[in-house]
Amino acid sequence: MQKRSQAIASKQRRQIITGSATAVGLATIGMPSISFAQNKPIKIGMPTILSGRVAMLGEASRNAATMGVEAFNAAGGLNGRPVELIIRDSKGRPDEASRIARELVNSDGCEMILDAEASSGAFGVHEVARDLGVLVMHTCSETSSLSADPKMRIPNGFRAARQGIHDAIVGGDYSGKVAKEKGLKRWMSISPDYSYGKDTTEEFFEYLKYFNKDVEVINSVWPKLFQADYSEPITRLLQGKPQAIYSCLWGGDLTSFIDQASIYGLMKDRQFFGVNMADYSVLTAIKAVPPNVHSGNRYLKSIPKTPQNAAWCDAYMAKFKTMPLNWSWQNAVGIEFMLTAIKKTNGTDTKKMSEALRGMTIKSPFGTNGEITMRALDNTIIDYAIAWGDIKPQEPYMPNPYIGNWKTILELEKQWMIKKGFIS
Amino acid sequence: MDTEALLECVTSLSCLVTQTSTGLIVGSLLFLVATGLTLIFGVLGIVNFAHGSLYMLGAYIALSAFRLTDSFIIATAVGAVGVGLFSLFFERFFMRRVYGADVLMQLLVCYAFILILDDAVKIIWGSEFQSMGMPAYFQEPPVFLAGGVIPVFYIYLIGISATMAIGLWLLLNKTKIGKIVRAAAVNPSMTSALGLNTSLIFAGVFAFGGALAGLAGALAAPVRSMSPGMGFSILIESFIVTVIGGMGSVSGALVGALLIGLIRSFGSIGFPFFIEGVMFVAMAAILVLKPSGIMGKEGR
């Protein structure tokens, strides 16, 4: 009996020694690897445009996303795991954007994509996300169909960017009122000759006519994207003798057009409605902002006029020595949604994060009421500040903004979606 | 195609004046860029694919000079001279080495410089587009001629281009330098055998061609926004102009540039969705009917 109990004790001792040795072994070999895994950064891939004529899109996007990630890491990351942005330049080539997105996931080990590509590249990146099943957050594409069209939609695809249809509704509402006040009946447009220009112009006029039935669109001119000389479209506009002109030209194209139109006297005694005027890149580049110019806000420090927005703008300015642009706030919102979802799900699982993101509301300096929601219906943001107003040549560039009413926007958007066959 | 609108325009004096002056404006800048390109090809026998980048560089240098001096005339001169000096460096240290090489090698060197210059511009001036703004003395109401509209600045621009065209013709046809350049273009070996330094002639022509592109960039700066990569589109149009006018022919560049300007101007009324197409159709037609171009000489 004693021998048996000694044998049991001996066996237990061996087990204890073996167990201890295993524990020591794990402590010396295994634990560092566990510790390493815990501190391994969460990689977020970011395809964007960092060279060529639209490099400012990539730089403004990168700046804002970096600010968000740095704040997240400074606050401890995800239980000590920092987030790392892996940024690649697509040079504005759609095929390159898709290739890079795939490479970021397959070769660089990125667990999700912050897609800061323009619409031309975003649709390709969207398909890569569909194919690989990774979470994608689009932050620069404003083409409505990217998220509105159910055929395009994927459960792991989200958009944190303004939508053309939202801008069109508010723009139509505001411009319709101005047209009534000033008796503007003859309208023409000048917009870039590609899908964004065509869709945005069509949607704007649709809602302008909805809010003001007296408006007549005489003609439209379509200069190509990045056209350097606008002499011929300007003379075409002069021949048409419109009372008001709408444009969704943007960036350097808009600046060139305004500079050239001014010397032709096109802006004199005419109202100009340029949806993309109120962005610092344009406002600071145009040396003499002509009178009678109206715009939608892209990004302005004063819209929404809150201490949070002003503070974010100041912090951005202090860090990058340049003013934030439309793409900046969109990327700030996009990365914030992603980081909040990472925190909320305590990990990077695509399915869990996607579920968390659908319908999520975050506090944001760019929200109409301090909040932005990722609408569950189509994985796109709503409640962000949209305003239109007349433009002055200095800060605040839009002193009397007409803030878009989201109740109206959502009602009209719903009708638009039904008409398009996106919802029944 | 809106033939009715086009017909209405050509029978209306005001429209005719506006569209013709627009054609001259578009053609003027194009002429300055294309003439540099064609001059370099005519004398050196190489196609400078980096020519659009020299136009971009001229615009940026002029922008900096304008910010420093507030004088558009000085800015234009600095832009042209600055690019001329850069072109001299480019030719002496790089292009000179590939004169006899395969065209692919020349393309590779030029493409490398396109990328380098785009990035250099981004580093020095930033990636955001920039605008010089209209100098105060050009901020005048446009001139109305027979009901047509012509901006004051564009009258200045057409004047500069016309002066350059006349000056170049005189330089090439009525001066000793012009004779030497033409001799070097026709037979560099013989020119060299006569004791003339052809290497220096080539360098001078390349620098002068570059300076013309720089001048065009500087002149465009008040009305065209600047951004890295802006030289690409004008390079394509300049190639079309040189092909239409005749590779190596300065007078051909003038004819080609004005033709393209007028096609663009009247095309925006008659066939607004096919302007680019008409430009290429014109180029194709010239290539078929007279492969050497309107003013080009057969064989080189």
Q: Answer yes or no: do A288 and A224 share one domain.
A: yes
Q: Residue B276 has what pLDDT? A: 84
Q: Answer yes or no: do A196 and A266 share one domain.
A: yes
Inform me whether the pLDDT recorded for A209 exceeds 70: yes
Both tokens of A55, joined, read 């490099």
Q: Answer yes or no: do A377 and A406 share one domain.
A: no
Q: Residue B129 has what pLDDT? A: 87
Q: Answer yes or no: do A154 and A233 share one domain.
A: no
Inform me whether the pLDDT recorded for A24 exceeds 50: no
Q: Answer yes or no: do A268 and A408 share one domain.
A: yes
Inform me whether the pLDDT recorded for A11 exceeds 80: no
Q: In this complex, do B224 and A227 lie within 8 Å of one another by their Cβ atoms?
A: no
Q: Residue A23 has what pLDDT? A: 47
Q: Residue A100 has what pLDDT? A: 97
Q: Residue A136 has what pLDDT? A: 98
Question: What CATH number corresponds to the domain at position A343?
Answer: 3.40.50.2300
CB-CB: which of A59, A226, A231 is closest to B22?
A231
Residue range A284-294: mean pLDDT, rounded: 88
Taking CB atoms and an 8 Å cutoff, what residues of chain B touch A235? 18-19, 22, 149, 265, 268
Nearest-CA distance A398 → chain B (Å): 21
CB burial readout B139-178, b (16+ within 10 A) else e: eeebeeeeebbbbbbbbebbebbeebbeebeeebeeeeee
Domain count, chain A: 3
Q: In this complex, do A259 and B225 lie within 8 Å of one another by their Cβ atoms?
A: yes
Inform me whether the pLDDT recorded for A30 exceeds 50: no
Instruction: Show the domain range for A130.
Output: 42-163+305-382
Q: In this complex, do A251 and B226 lie within 8 Å of one another by their Cβ atoms?
A: no
Q: Answer yes or no: do A94 and A127 share one domain.
A: yes
The answer to whether the predicted template modeling score (pTM) of the entire model surpasses 0.95 is no
Mean pLDDT of chain B: 91
CB-CB: which of A231, A256, A281 is closest to B25?
A231
Taking CB atoms and an 8 Å cutoff, what residues of chain B touch A56? 127-129, 227
- Residue bearing tokens 């600071």: A284
Tell me how far apart the alpha carbons of residues A222 and A201 are, in angstroms, rounded to a whole number. Answer: 10
Band (pLDDT 50/70/90 cuts) for residue A225 is confident
Q: Residue B11 has what pLDDT? A: 87
Taking CB atoms and an 8 Å cutoff, what residues of chain A touch B276? 224
Provide, rounded to the nearest whole percent, the portion of chain B with pLDDT above 70.
Answer: 99
Task: Determine which of A127-136, A279-288, B207-216 has the lowest per-residue pLDDT on average.
Answer: A279-288
B35-76 pLDDT, tens digit per residue, is: 999 999 999 989 999 999 999 999 999 999 999 999 999 999
Residue range A154-183: mean pLDDT, rounded: 96
Q: Residue A202 has what pLDDT? A: 94
Q: Residue A143 has what pLDDT? A: 84
Inform me whether the pLDDT recorded for A110 exceeds 90: yes
Q: Answer yes or no: do A173 and A289 share one domain.
A: yes
Tell me how far apart the alpha carbons of residues B70 and A241 are, in angstroms, rounded to a whole number. Answer: 35
Q: Answer yes or no: do A107 and A208 share one domain.
A: no
Q: Residue A195 has what pLDDT? A: 80
DSSP strand E in A225-360: where? 244-247, 271-274, 278-279, 293-299
A367-391 pLDDT, tens digit per residue, is: 999 999 999 999 999 999 999 999 9
Q: Residue A26 has what pLDDT? A: 45
In this predicted model, which residue has the larger pLDDT, B145 or B85?
B85
Both tokens of B77, joined, read 């001169």
Q: Residue B275 has what pLDDT? A: 85
Band (pLDDT 50/70/90 cuts) for residue A27 is very low
- Residue bearing tokens 């001078």: B204
Q: Answer yes or no: do A277 and A188 share one domain.
A: yes
Tell me how far apart the alpha carbons of residues A131 and A305 are, in angstroms, rounded to a whole number. Answer: 41
Q: Answer yes or no: do A48 and A123 share one domain.
A: yes
Question: Chain A within 8 Å of B154 (Cβ-Cβ)?
Answer: yes
Inform me whether the pLDDT recorded for A31 exceeds 90: no
CA count, 13 A, side-chain hemisphere, A406: 15
Q: Answer yes or no: do A262 and A398 share one domain.
A: yes
Provide, rounded to the nearest whole percent, the portion of chain B with pLDDT above 90.
Answer: 66
Residue range A303-318: mean pLDDT, rounded: 97
Question: Is residue B286 a contact partner of residue B237, using CB atoms and an 8 Å limit?
Answer: no
Provide, rounded to the nearest whole percent, the portion of chain A with pLDDT above 70.
Answer: 91
Residue of chain B with shortest Cα separation from A323: B128
Q: In this complex, do A288 and B134 lie within 8 Å of one another by their Cβ atoms?
A: yes
Q: Answer yes or no: do A219 and A101 share one domain.
A: no
Nearest-CA distance A227 → chain B (Å): 8
Taking CB atoms and an 8 Å cutoff, what residues of chain B touch A263? 134, 138-139, 142, 151-154, 223
Q: Residue A5 has what pLDDT? A: 52
Mean pLDDT of chain A: 90
Interface test with B, best of A49, A53, A225 (most B CBs within 10 A): A53
The DSSP bridge partners found for residue A221 are: A190
B236-281 pLDDT, tens digit per residue, is: 999 999 999 998 899 999 999 999 999 988 988 888 778 888 889 9
Question: Chain B within 8 Å of A290 (Cβ-Cβ)?
Answer: no
Handedness of CA B157, B158, B159, B160 (dihedral sign): positive
Inform me whether the pLDDT recorded for B1 exceeds 90: no
Taking CB atoms and an 8 Å cutoff, what residues of chain B touch A50? 127
Q: What domains are there in chain B, each with its CATH number?
A: 3-129+138-289 (1.10.3470)
